[in-house]
Amino acid sequence: MMMEDWKETEFSLERKHVACTSCLSEYVKKLLCEVSITDQFFDAFTSYYTLEQNHMKMILPDLSDGGFTEAWFEDAVHKISPVLNHVHFVYSQVSFCDIDMWMEWTHYKKVFLECFKLLKDSENSCSVPLALLLLTAYLERALGNVLLLKRNQVPAMLKDLLATEELKNIFGHENILFLQILIGSPISLNLRNITWHGFVAPPEVSSRHGYILLAIVQSFGEKLEKSGLKPEHIPCRSWLTFQQTETWINCFPEITDSSIRIAEEVFRKTTILLPQMLPYWKEILSCFRNQKYGQCLVLLLPQIENCLRNIFVAANDCPERIVTAEATMLYTTFDEIFSEFVHGKINKTRNILGDTYIELFLDLLVYPEGPRVRDRLSHGEVLLEDIPHHLVNHILNISVAICCKFVCPSTGILQEIYVKDVITAASNYKPKFHPLSILKGKFFQAINKVMKWKNCPIPDLNDPPNSGETTDKSLDVTQYVQVICNLYSVDDDIKKDLVHCGFQTLSNILKKLQPETLYRPRYEGEITTLLRQIVSHIIIAADQVSDGLQICYYQWCKKKMRSRQRLTYSRFLCSVPVLTRSLQVVFITILVNFMYINKLSSLEKKTQHHVTRLLKSILKYTENLEIMTNATKNRWEECCYLSKELLESISCFSQKQFL
């Protein structure tokens, strides 16, 4: 970044944030820091430190007049505040063994013990927000498990989960209503959203808010026990894991102790982090240093969102969007930060971050087949102890790279080798989980699997059957490749390479291709889906052919084949060259589509229809191929017939120019 460019960026960011001492809106801040604060106490406990439902019913305001409104929630928060005070007074003086009698129903008692310890840690300002992050996530997970006793599916949103009649019937309407006041609505205290979306600074939440959630967990456990529902009766959905990310996360340097010191200096000197949020970043680095990777990531993700929201606000000149929204507006969350347009106008965040940095976050957070780290963590779907070092190392490095964009070059920190390595890695990143990226990887896999056919052992048969017009010699692949190239108006130089290229050349060409993946039109997505389906069927068919060749050769060598099996084996061997040639044409078709994917949406609707029809015919062929090559079918003559039929259908397109 040039010095003059940095000055303009720095100025605009500082100007937008100079008056932002809190990211809470006036209404939310009033509920959290004023209405919920009182010097009164109300003992709503049973003798087991659980909440008495009748006491709850006494203090909660009536819902009959108009339902949930801001005025109702304000009144409700005011009335439950004495309960929060009493719970805080009691829980801050007892040990966890005094209150853990009914925690097993959550299937993750360990994390609630950790939250209890955090709430008692008065020396660390980030302990209470961290406890709230964990409590809201894993309480949601536990409630979803209970709902599965009555339903087959759990709502994706916490507010919808709490609104289910089934949970109200299981735990009692007053208990669920109490929870809704705390975490269940955009106009409630909304502890879940304001923490997980990075709006809360450390001093803005109290251990009172954490202790009351622990009391609710304990109370719900007691309620289940009295209803005859033991922990072993409650379903426990499988925990998700991020271990598979190790296969693609390897581009950033390992963060060492010296790297942590440099990162801390970057966080202090960047202009994109709000001063009141800096304690989080210090604690994030401390957790990483102490190998508390789960806690590190839980704190890190909301702060990344806060950081990106600051950039979004500055880029689009909308300072009001930096704070929490009311019920009538949307939160400025990842979805909007990374969207192409904002209220019909181009989102200028792209101009500041650049495509590569946006792709980094889309891979991590948004793409359906990516790890979707924030979603899974915020909904309690991952065990903290299972969060791997390499993933946190990756995300923390991304945070450093983003912050470096807003550090003045004159500070000298950008000259550090670690910083240079991080910036280089981020700038060269290629998306892994965009559908086109996944297609490319699967395409490589399909090519390699078909190439392995030639390495399978084949006996010298004396009586190969006559396969008629579907023999290898009858397939002039060149003419079909020329048809495909003409259909897509492939450049002459590329056409020369494709017409005579083998599988290895196809693979080499594919390796060099990197189509644009950010903000692509919907039609490209439809084509990509078709191509991925085609490739998936080929992969399965290719494996079936390879397995069949290996098994049949073994049986032939051991003389374990009956005469009919030998005849089938002969037909099998005669069909392999035919399939190979046919798939060569299919691969070239896929490759050409991949090369021109960014142009397909500009075609006329009629031409798009022809492209789609061609690919659907290929898809049908590969679907049939998967079925026919299965070991239970062995319909090799049909495979040859289908291959010939496909090539003839491709020839029918020879007079149409698509591009």
Q: CA of 462: how far to CAs of 71, 542, 635, in Å?
A: 90, 26, 21
Overall average pLDDT of the 624-653 stretch: 89
User: Which pLDDT band holds residue 15 (cuts at 50, 70, 90)?
Assistant: very low
User: In this structure, what DSSP letter does residue 364 have?
Assistant: I
Q: Quote the CA–CA distance of 516 and 172 in Å, as a whole number.
A: 53
Q: Quote the CA–CA distance of 183 and 165 in Å, as a whole number.
A: 17
Q: Which residue has the tokens 């991080």?
A: 422
User: Which pLDDT band holds residue 12 (cuts at 50, 70, 90)?
Assistant: very low
Q: Which residue has the tokens 């959550």?
A: 106
Structure tokens, 86: 């009493």
pLDDT in tens, 70-90: 889 999 999 999 999 999 999
Q: Quote the CA–CA distance of 17 and 302 in Å, as a whole number.
A: 18
Paired strand residues for 342 = 345
Structure tokens, 248: 């693609």
Structure tokens, 455: 């390495």
Q: Quote the CA–CA distance of 114 and 122 in Å, as a whole number.
A: 14
Give yes or no for residue 427 having a pLDDT over 60.
yes
**Helix axes 563-595 and 477-487, enclosed angle (nearest 10):** 30
- Pick from 524, 436, 130, 110: which is nearest to 299 by CA? 130
The percent of residues in the chain predicted with pLDDT above 90, rounded, is: 63
User: Which pLDDT band holds residue 17 (cuts at 50, 70, 90)?
Assistant: very low
For 51, list phi and psi in degrees, rounded to 5. -80, 130
Q: Quote the CA–CA distance of 337 and 521 in Å, as a whole number.
A: 19
- How far, rounded to the nearest angstrom, does the alpha carbon of residue 515 sit from its chain's CA centroid? 21
Total-model pTM: 0.89
Q: Quote the CA–CA distance of 538 and 536 in Å, as a whole number.
A: 5
CB atoms under 10 Å from CB of 78, counted, come to 17
Q: Quote the CA–CA distance of 641 and 616 in Å, as a whole number.
A: 18
User: Which of residues 555 and 460 earns the better pLDDT score?
Assistant: 555
Cβ atoms of 86 and 59 within 8 Å: the answer is no
Paired strand residues for 346 = 341
pLDDT in tens, 570-584: 999 999 999 999 999
Average pLDDT value for the chain: 88
CB atoms under 10 Å from CB of 430, counted, come to 14
Q: Helix or strand or coil: residue 649? A: helix
AA letter at 468: G
pLDDT in tens, 285-294: 999 999 999 9
Q: Quote the CA–CA distance of 108 and 106 in Å, as a whole number.
A: 5
What are the residues whose beta carbons fall under 8 Å from the beta carbon of 304, sequence distance 6 or more?
198, 361, 395, 398, 399, 402
Q: Quote the CA–CA distance of 607 and 658 in Å, as a whole number.
A: 6
| Secondary structure percentages of the chain, helix, strand, coil, to 5 | 65, 0, 30
Q: For the chain, give the longest Cα–Cα distance.
A: 98
What's the pLDDT score for residue 462? 59
Provide the phi-psi class of 502: left if phi over 0, else alpha when psi is between -120 and 50, else beta.
Answer: beta
For 341, list phi and psi in degrees, rounded to 5. -125, 150
Q: Which residue has the tokens 């955090």?
A: 118
User: In this structure, what DSSP letter does residue 520 have?
Assistant: -
Give yes or no for residue 6 having a pLDDT over 60.
no
Q: Helix or strand or coil: residue 657? A: coil
Q: Quote the CA–CA distance of 383 and 250 in Å, as a whole number.
A: 23
Give yes or no for residue 167 having a pLDDT over 90.
yes
Q: Quote the CA–CA distance of 220 and 134 in Å, as a whole number.
A: 17
User: In this structure, what DSSP letter does residue 432 have?
Assistant: S
Give yes or no for residue 14 having a pLDDT over 80.
no
CB atoms under 10 Å from CB of 292, counted, come to 21
- How far, rounded to the nearest angstrom, does the alpha carbon of residue 522 sit from its chain's CA centroid? 20
Structure tokens, 217: 């967990």
What's the pLDDT score for residue 463? 52
Q: Which residue has the tokens 């205290």?
A: 189
What are the residues whose beta carbons fall under 8 Å from the beta carbon of 569, sequence distance 6 or more?
461, 552, 556, 561
What's the pLDDT score for residue 578? 92
What's the pLDDT score for residue 650? 84
